Chain A
Amino acid sequence: MKTSNIPEPIQTPLTPAVFQILLALSEMEMHGYRIMQAVQQNSNRQMHMGPGTLYGSIKRMLADGLIEESGERPDPDLDDERRRYYRLTALGRKTVKAEAARMDALVRKAQALHLLPDREGDS
């Protein structure tokens, strides 16, 4: 029987900043400025993440093993400065899935209480 070596996801709920960074990195590996852009786009410009919160969260997420550095290289769309890229670890992916599932359960509860309209495709 194949057993997974990935540790259990860290305790949810996550802070909004950590969840948004994990969500952004689940798409692709990114550097700091791209993460800030992705957070703004993913939240329909409702969440503005400043650089202090971003790197404070990155520091703690690296320590918790949720993300890892994936080397330095220039971004082809920006200037030719070398930038440090970050990507999700297996633990980070597991944690963001757990958090998304927790949020989904809350949304379903809100729908059942008619606080939200039913989503398309839901029975």
Chain B
Amino acid sequence: MNTLIPFTREKSAVSLAQWLVRCHPAEFRNQYEDELNQVLRTLVRYGLDDGNDGTANYLWRVCIPDLCSSMIRERFNQWEENMKRNFGVWIGAGLIVLWVLYVGLTEARIFLHLPIKDPTIWLLGDTPANWAFTSLNVFIILAPILALILMAVPHIQFSRGAEEGDLAVIRLRKVTGASRVMILTASLISAMILFLLMFGGRL
């Protein structure tokens, strides 16, 4: 009967270990999932350095905690890389949130007569200088355009091709899916804002 105990413990440890492997980020899994599972299979079959004795202990004592910590580490690394890669997107998203808040508060105060303080006064004080007002107005106009550009730029792929000489060219045809939608939406909204700014008064 006792011989069944290690087998059961090994089996449950391997199942848990394989589940933990599946919890690693997709990029890591694509590269190493098969190899990790192969190592686990070999561990169960051959043990590490002294045959099968203590394999279940090794799996529970070393492999499971190690896979837990590597899962957290790899997920954090992945998050960090994504943040670096999409830094412009985060700044862009932040700008849009600020812009929506500012415009929303201003409109709510004026049109809905809500008892809230003018956000311009929060930002510039009660007696703002002209240059500060001008800067704020420029920011209000340019913020969404800047934000959209920042969010779209990481999706644009620059490449150098022999047929195009040494100039970097934008190959939008090779950009697919969500990236293409992002670039087109950003371009359209930016164009609309610019159009309204230029011709809005005449309409």
Which A residues are closer than 8 A to B by beta carbons? 32-33, 36-37, 40-41, 45, 48-56, 58-59, 78-79, 81, 83-84
Q: 6 A-B Cβ contacts within 8 A?
A: A36-B48, A41-B49, A48-B58, A51-B66, A52-B20, A58-B32
The B47-83 residues at the A interface (CB cut-off 8 A) are 48-49, 58, 61-63, 65-71, 73-74
Whole-angstrom CA separation of A78 from B48 in the bound complex:
12
A53 CA / B74 CA spacing, docked (Å)? 10
Contact present for B45 and A79 (CB under 8 Å): yes
Instruction: Name B's A-contacting residues (CB within 8 A).
Output: 17, 20, 24, 28, 31-32, 35-36, 38-43, 45-46, 48-49, 58, 61-63, 65-71, 73-74
- Which residues from B are CB-within-8-Å of A53? 66, 69-70
Point out the residues of chain B lying under 8 angstroms from A36, CB to CB.
39, 48
Q: Residue A50 contacts which of B28, B35, B38, B65 (CB distance < 8 angstroms)?
A: B65
Of A33, A40, A58, most B-chain CB atoms within 10 Å: A33
Is the pair B49, A56 in contact by a Cβ cutoff of 8 Å? no
Given contacts A33-B43, A78-B42, A83-B38, contact A55 B32 (CB under 8 A): yes
Q: Interface of chain B, helix or strand or loop or mixed?
A: helix
Which of chain A's residues have a CB closer than 8 A to the CB of B32?
Answer: 55, 58-59
Which residues of chain B are near A49, meaning CB under 8 Å?
66
- Looking at the assembled complex, report how far the CB atom of A58 sits from the nearest CB atom of chain B, in whole angstroms: 8
| Beta-carbon nearest neighbor of B34 in chain A | A84
CA distance A53 to B28 in the complex (A): 12
**Contact between B43 and A50 (Cβ–Cβ < 8 Å)?**
no
CA distance A78 to B41 in the complex (A): 11
CA distance A55 to B39 in the complex (A): 10
Report the Cα distance A41→B49, complex, angstroms: 8
